[in-house]
Structure 1
Amino acid sequence: MADEPLAIAIDSAAQAGPRRVYCRLCGRPLTGADSRRTGLGPTCDAKLHPAPPDIRTRRHEVEQDALPGLDDRS
């Protein structure tokens, strides 16, 4: 009799289907294959691993002195 509840729990777990995986940051259930593999949803993954800035957005003009010997008399 004591073994009967254990047998029912194992049988019901085997029929349940795929195991639910939850986001490690927010706890929401994950559905995508990549999200399930990493353990993070797309929003939480973007928070932890932001995309690198584009090189064009990091460039800026700098005030410079004219090179010695060059004039603007063109």
Structure 2
Amino acid sequence: MGDEPLAIDIDSAPEKGPRRVHCRLCGRPLTGADSRRTGLGPTCDAKLHPPAPDIRTRRHEVAQDPLPGLDPSAG
């Protein structure tokens, strides 16, 4: 058992350092930790998941009657 040759080829040893991960959409290499985890680069992630619209841009002022007892002109 101790004299048996190694079962793996020395030239096929795993590379040193992190494994290369490519974007699932465009194929470019990913470097950031978040990008490597999701499998999408920041540009491709923004294309697939656009930010939600800001709710403050949809608000508008509405003319209302003052509440009884809160009339600002009454002294």
The answer to whether TM tops 0.5 is yes
Distance 2:15 2:23 in 1: 23
* Aligned ranges 1:34-45 → 2 under 5 Å: 34-45=34-45
| Percent of paired sites with the same residue | 80
Report the CA distance between 1:60 and its aligned residue: 4.9
Instruction: Say whether residues 1:33 and 2:20 are aligned partners.
Output: no
Report the CA distance between 1:24 and its aligned residue: 0.3
Report the CA distance between 1:18 and its aligned residue: 1.3
Partner of 1:21: 21
Partner amino acid, structure 2, of 1:51: P
Structure 1, gaps ≥5 residues long: 1-5, 63-74
For residue 7 of structure 1, the aligned residue among 6, 9, 12 is 9
Structure 2, gaps ≥5 residues long: 1-7, 63-75
Count of aligned positions:
57
Q: Which structure is higher in helix share?
A: 1
Matched position secondary structure for 1:24: coil
Partner of 1:70: none
Runs of 4 or more, structure 1, over 6 Å off, are none
Query: TM-score, normalised to structure 2's length?
Result: 0.61
